[in-house]
Amino acid sequence: MGGRGFPVCGGGGIVQFVSGTHHWSTDAVEPRRALSYWVDTVCDRFLELDIDTPVRTGFQAQLDQTELGPAIVNMIRADVQRVRRTSAKIARTRQSAFMLMQLRAGRVLVRQAGRSTPLYPGECVLIDGRAPYEVECPLPTCSLVLTLPEVWLRRYLEHPEALVPLRVAGGGWGAALCAAVGSLEIDGCDNLALPPEEVAGHVAALLKLAIAPEPAGAAPRPLRERVVRALNGRYAEPDLSPAALAGELHMSVRSLHYTFAAAGTTFIEELMRIRLERARELLADGRARELPIAEIAARCGFIDPSHFARRFRRRFGCTPHGYRHRTVS
């Protein structure tokens, strides 16, 4: 769509529409009416939202939608925009649901519950549609969004609202969840090897494994393990502070620092270790070979690419460019 580099996502980017799939596109209206059409479409077919954009004429967007058992699969492509779910919109809502969003192309920043969570292609984030939030899209984006009914989701996650907006990226069950959601395509939901409701259930189960706290009756995780787990969920936030992490864990900043000190490390040292290990994983991943080094730095929480390069070389004995050249053929 269009000449501004409208994002392509999924297998090949051209959607073959099948029975049970609905499609709305700004291509169907005059350029001067495109934005108002998009706002009306999103509010009617997806969720009541406020949408703003610097693209006042010829705004480009597309929504493809189909069912997956109890869930709704939404493939959304859109120009630069800022999306807000306000208290006023929530009061007029027709549904009570959470959204599991996977970014396919572009870059977004999700704000909810006092937290800012950056999201990059391939990563997922859980958003509470019953509470205010904001999604800032400084680039054209493509996202797959699963609308998960609240009552159904609570069969898997007792308190999903306590987890938002936690980012799920590579590693462990998080990688399994991202891969499963990444396999979903609008044109394939009617031709799955399992019943759609089972597929939706598997996604919810992976979500529980990836981000849920310990099950009832399980022994509490040691404090340091909980701290490191929380740090792994937020390392990409460039302005992450000890106070923000301590607040999430309902502990004092002093106790947080003591937890690191007892293990012979510090908040900064542990944060840098996690960021650099994740950067090394991305540099060695052939699927990310086209990503600029500066983009990898940003995905791992580094604002300054030169600072990232110095830290990387100090830890691994080579530059990021050198490490990629050695590991990716």
Q: Can you tell me the distance from the alpha carbon of 77 to that of 61, in angstroms, rounded to the nearest whole number?
A: 5
pLDDT-based confidence at 216, cuts 50/70/90? very low
Mean pLDDT confidence for 108-131: 89
Host H or E run for residue 87: helix 87-91
Q: Can you tell me the distance from the alpha carbon of 93 to that of 73, in angstroms, rounded to the nearest whole number?
A: 19
Highest mean pLDDT among 4-13, 44-53, 128-137: 128-137
pLDDT-based confidence at 221, cuts 50/70/90? low
Q: Can you tell me the distance from the alpha carbon of 30 to that of 28, in angstroms, rounded to the nearest whole number?
A: 7
- Beta strands 124-128 and 71-78 are unpaired
Residue identified by tokens 């189960």 is 205
Question: What pLDDT, on the 0 to 100 scale, is given for residue 328?
Answer: 67
Residue identified by tokens 């944060």 is 271
Residue identified by tokens 């306000």 is 86
- Taking the CA atoms of residue 9, residue 11, residue 15 and residue 17 in that order, the dihedral angle to the nearest 10 degrees is -130
Burial class (CB in 10 A: 0-12, 13-18, 19+), 150: middle
Q: How many helices (H) and strands (E) does the chain have?
A: 12, 12
**Phi, psi dihedral angles at 177 (to 5 degrees):** -65, -45
* 86-109 pLDDT tens trace: 888 888 776 789 999 999 999 899
Domain spans of the chain, in order of start: 22-211, 217-329
Provide the angle, in degrees to the nearest 10, between the axes of the packed helices 253-262 and 267-284. 70
234 vs 288, higher pLDDT: 234
* 41-71 pLDDT tens trace: 887 888 888 899 998 888 999 999 999 999 9
Query: Across the chain, what does the average pLDDT equal?
Result: 84
**Poorest-confidence range of 129-133, 149-153, 191-195?**
191-195
Is the pLDDT confidence value at 150 over 60?
yes
Report the b/e string of 81-101 with b at 16+ CB within 10 A.
Answer: bbbebeeebbeeeeeebbbbb
- Beta strands 108-112 and 115-119 are antiparallel
Q: Can you tell me the distance from the alpha carbon of 103 to that of 31, in angstroms, rounded to the nearest whole number?
A: 26
- Topology annotation, domain 22-211: Jelly Rolls (2.60.120)
**Phi, psi dihedral angles at 306 (to 5 degrees):** -70, -35
Instruction: Give domain 217-329's CATH number out of 1.10.10.60, 3.40.630.30, 3.30.470.10, 3.40.1010.10.
Output: 1.10.10.60
Please state, in angstroms and as integers, the Cα–Cα distance from residue 79 to each residue in 121, 129, 269, following that order: 16, 22, 39
